[in-house]
Structure 1
C-alpha cells in the first residue's frame, strides 16, 4: 500500500504523453491465446492490471516477454485451462478469457471476477451469449466450468451494449463454425482496436464501432504486430487536471474523436481546448462554470469512467451541477471523500447534486476505486493545504506513473510507501 501526498495550488503547465489504453490492451492480451501463434503488442502501459494479465498468460503456458512498452506473447505452448483464482479476483477484465479460451481449447475453468467495487456488474450477458453459441456452463461455488464440443455461429441480441459481453462474444466467435452476428453491440473504440488486432492475425470481423458486428469463424492464424490505441480516460483525466488548476497543458498521443464527449463538457465548464490530429491544448478557466447536466452513457456518450473526475472539477464551480450515473449503481463512493475536503455534494439515488464551493481544503482521504481515486488527486491539486490519499493501488491499476507525470507538469505530489 502507498499514499500520495499533494500540496495544492500549483498551476499545471507543460506537455504529457498518453500511454496505451488499459481497456484495450487487456482484451487484446486475452485474444493472444486464440491463434496458437505469436503476437507483438506495442504501446503497452505499465499498470498493475497488465501485470496480472501477464501472470495469467504465463500460468496457462504461454511464453511472455516484456521490454519497456512492448509485450511479446507466444501462445503455441499453452497447456492449462484453469485460470488462477487469486489473479481473477484482482481484475474484472480477466473474465474475457472465457471467450478466448473456449475459442482456443473448447474448455476453461474460471472463478467470478473481482476488480473495483462500483456496483453490480453481472456477467449474465456473457454467459447467455456463450450458451447461445453452444457452450455448456456449470456454475458452482463461485466458479464457472465452461465446455464446448465446437462453438456454432448464431445471431446474438445483447440486452444491453455491454463492452465485456461484446468482447467475450467476439473472442468466442473468432473460431466458431459459421457466422456470428452481434446486435446491440458496444461501440467503444476499444472494441475496434480488438477487431483490428484479431483481423491482422487472420480473423474475419466486420462492423466494430457500430451496433452490429459480424464474425466469420476461421481456423488458421498468423504472426501479428499491433499498436494499442491511446487511453481516452487517461487523456480526459489530464485534461481535467489542467482545468481544475487553471493550467495550460498540451496532451500528446490522443485520438480526438474518442474524447469528443469529454471535450464538450470541459468546454461547458469554461475550458479553452485547441486540437489537431493527435494532440490538444487545454487552458483551464479562471472561474469554473457549472454544467447543467452530465449523464453517463455507453460510448459515444459521456463515459462513466470520467464521472468522478468531473465531480471533483464541478465541486469548485460557480454554481450547481447535476450528474446522473446510468451505467453503474454504486459509483459515487468518492463523493463522501470529496465532502471531507469541503465539497457540497448531495447524492439522491443515481443522481449527484454538486453545489460549487469557493475552495476545497486538504484532508486525509481514501481511494475507494480507480476513477474515484483519480477524482481525489484532482481535488488535492486544487485544494488549499495538504491532501493525503491512501489506497493508491487502485490508481496504479489504470494510471501509468501518475505522480511522475503530474510532477513534470509542476504539481507538488509525492508517492510515499507504507
Structure 2
C-alpha cells in the first residue's frame, strides 16, 4: 500500500512545470491505431493512464517503444485484431476511444466496457447513436460493446449530439477520419484536447475543420502518414497548482501552460482576490497580498469552468471566510469526496448538485482519494491543514498527475509518498 503524507501549513513558493495533457494523451495514443505509418508522440505525461493505454495497444500487436518518460514511438501497422477485451481495457474510462479508432480502421470493433473514476452515470449512448448513423450495428455481449459493419457500408453522416459530450465527440471524430464521405458533428464539445486531437489527425493528413467550435466537419481520407507530434500542456494540472497556490496563500509560477485554456480558472481566482500575471507560456498566481473572498462557481463545458477543477476549488473555498456555493452541472454525483474533507473539519453541505461551503480551518486527518480530481483536492486540503494528513488510494492521483510529490516538494511543501509493505514496516520512497 502506498500513501501520501503531508505536514500542512506551509505556503507554496517557487516554480513548477506542467506536464502534457492527460485528456489529450489518452485520445491521441488510441488515434495512432488509424495511422498507416509509425508515429512519435512527445510531451506525454508520465502517468499510469498513459502506460495503461500504451500497454493495451502493445497487447493488440502494436510496436510501442518508450524513448524517454515523456516520449513514445508507436508503430500501429502490426495490429491485426479489432478486439480489445482484456482486463486492462476495463481499468480506464478513455479505453472506449478504441471503439472509434478500431471502427475507423477495420470497420469492426469489440471493446470491453471501461472503468475509471466512478462519480456518476456516464452512458455511451451518444457514441453508439453516432456509430449507428454511420452504418455500424452495435450490441452488448458479456460486458463488451461490439460494433460491426458490412463491407463498404461505413460512411459519413450528420450527427447531432443530444448533450455536449467530450467522449462522444472524440470517438466520432476517430471513427469518421477514414469513413467514406463527410461527417458533420453538431453540438460538439469544444475542449482544448479535442482541438489537439484534431491537430494531430490533420498533421497526419486527415481533413477535419471546426474543432473548438460546436460544429466539426470531417471528410474521410484513405491514408494517414506518420508524424512526430507534441501534446498540449495539461490545463487541469495547471489549474490544480493554481488552486494550491491560492489555498496555501503562496505565490508560484506555473510554466508550460496555455493561458487561454485557463481563462475561466484565472478569472475565478482574480474574483477571489488573487493576483494573476500571464505570460506567453507561464502564469504567476500570488495569494500573499490580501485576504481571499468567497465566490460562487458553476461548472460548465468548455469554455466554462471545468468540472475537473471543481473538487480542487471546493478544497480551496473551504479555507476562505464566508459562504461559497458550487453548482456541479456536468456530473450528477461528483461530491463523493466531500465526506473526506468533512473529516478534516470542512463545513460543506451537499444538496443535489449544489455544495454549500462555509470557509474555516482544516485539520490533518487520514483521508482517501475517491477519484482522480478528488485526490488532488485531498492533497490541497492537506497542504493547508494544521497537522498531518495521510491520503490513501493514491493510485487515483497517479492516474492523472505526473511526479506530483516531487513537484510539490519543489514548491516547499512537506509532502512524501510512503510505502507500507506490511503492518510492521514503514519506508519512505519519495
The Cα of 1:81 is off from its aligned counterpart by 1.8
Counterpart of 1:108?
109
Moved more, 242-251 or 141-150: 141-150
Counterpart of 2:178?
175
Counterpart of 1:30?
30
The Cα of 1:373 is off from its aligned counterpart by 0.7
Counterpart of 1:374?
376
Within the candidate set 212, 216, 231, 1:213 is matched to 216
Counterpart of 2:97?
96
Counterpart of 1:314?
317
Aligned counterparts of 2:271 and 2:339: Cα–Cα separation in 1:
25
**TM-score (norm: length of structure 2):** 0.95
Q: In structure 2, list runs of 5 or more residues that go unmatched.
A: 421-430
Work out whether 1:258 is the aligned partner of 2:261.
yes
Work out whether 1:296 is the aligned partner of 2:299.
yes
The Cα of 1:413 is off from its aligned counterpart by 0.2
Please give the per-residue CA displacement for 1:305-346, whole angstroms capped at 9, x wherever unaligned. 000000000001110000000111110011111110000000
Aligned counterparts of 1:223 and 1:89: Cα–Cα separation in 2:
29
Please give the per-residue CA displacement for 1:225-245, whole angstroms capped at 9, x wherever unaligned. 111000000000001111111
Aligned counterparts of 1:73 and 1:121: Cα–Cα separation in 2:
30
The Cα of 1:36 is off from its aligned counterpart by 2.2
Question: What pairs up with 1:66-77 in 2 under 5 angstroms?
Answer: 66-68=66-68, 69-77=70-78
Q: Secondary structure at the match of 1:32?
A: helix
The Cα of 1:103 is off from its aligned counterpart by 0.7
Within the candidate set 387, 391, 397, 2:393 is matched to 391
Within the candidate set 340, 355, 358, 2:358 is matched to 355
Aligned counterparts of 1:103 and 1:133: Cα–Cα separation in 2:
11
Answer whether contact 1:137 1:144 (CA < 8 A) is retained: yes
**TM-score (norm: length of structure 1):** 0.98
The Cα of 1:270 is off from its aligned counterpart by 1.5
Moved more, 237-246 or 80-89: 80-89
Counterpart of 1:8?
8
Moved more, 104-113 or 41-50: 104-113
Answer whether contact 2:18 2:238 (CA < 8 A) is retained: yes
Answer whether contact 2:155 2:181 (CA < 8 A) is retained: yes
Answer whether contact 2:36 2:226 (CA < 8 A) is retained: no
Answer whether contact 2:85 2:110 (CA < 8 A) is retained: no
Counterpart of 2:51?
51
